[in-house]
Amino acid sequence: MIELKEYISNFIVPQSLIADEQPWEITDKLKKIIVQLIQMLDTEFEIANGIAIHKSAIIEKHAVLKAPFIVMKNAVVSANAYFLEGVIIGKDTKIGQGCEIKSSIIGNDSAIAHFNYIGNSLIGEKVNFEAGSIAANHYNERAEKEISVKYKSKIIKTKAIKFGALVGDGSKIGANAVLSPGTLLSKNAVVKRLQLIEQVREYD
């Protein structure tokens, strides 16, 4: 079993809402989790139609927010960012222009530069995605779609066909790098520009 604290020290979602769920199970159920979490938020949030925005957060023009969705304290969402259902943006986090994020949690004090895609992923605190970097969530090119992850030299079959990445606190993802589905990055990991991370290949 993967322990989230090995990767993310201060997970945004209370333990009571995720129990012992694995990362791919959390992203799969994230819409339901966010609906419950919104009910626990205080009056510092403006809540309407399944969308909760902290009063100190900045949402620039033409950003598309689809419920359920939460933006925490002092976060900034830039113009033309696009959020599909089931996203949490942590406090002091910056989402750059033209990003698309789906069924994911972006941890506190992180930065997703611009023109990034992050799908079905859990991103830790103080993580930086440079421009154009991607956390892919689906194996379009494979006949076998089930995603596996590599954890402590063992291969775990997730039974999921959509899961992106678990990215540890303090990690840095270089411009135009790609995290293949099922990527697990330890705390303070560094991915070089243009690098492809493919931890579980078809022949594994």
What range does the domain containing 177 cover? 4-189
Residue-level pLDDT at 92: 98
Domain contains 79: yes
Q: Is 138 a catalytic residue?
A: no
pLDDT at 151: 96
Tell me if 202 is assigned to some domain: no
- Scan for tokens 């222009």, then name that residue: 97
**What is the domain count for the chain?**
1
Peptide bond preceding 14: is omega within 30 degrees of 0, i.e. cis?
no
pLDDT for the residue 13: 97
Q: Which token pair is 95?
A: 């989402």
What backbone phi and psi angles, to 5 degrees, belong to 5?
-65, -20
The whole-angstrom separation of Cα 139 and Cα 49 is 33
Report yes or no: 174 and 200 within 8 Å, Cβ to Cβ.
no
In the predicted model, residues of the chain with pLDDT beneath 70 are 202-204
Domain-embedded: residue 200:
no
Distance CA 170, CA 52 (A): 26
User: What CATH number does the domain containing 67 carry?
Assistant: 2.160.10.10
Residues 149, 22: contact at Cβ < 8 Å?
no
Backbone angles phi, psi at 123, to 5 degrees: -115, 130
pLDDT in tens, 5-60: 999 999 999 999 999 999 999 999 999 999 999 999 999 999 999 999 999 999 99
What is the pLDDT at residue 202? 54
Rounded to an integer, what distance in angstroms lies between the CA atom of residue 150 and that of residue 154?
Answer: 6
Flag whether 15 is in a domain.
yes
Residue 199 lies in a domain: no
Strand partners, 106: 89, 123
**What residues have CB less than 8 Å from 164, skipping those under 6 apart?**
27, 104, 118, 119, 120, 121, 135, 136, 137, 179, 181, 183
Q: Which of 54, 62, 114, 138 is catalytic?
A: 114
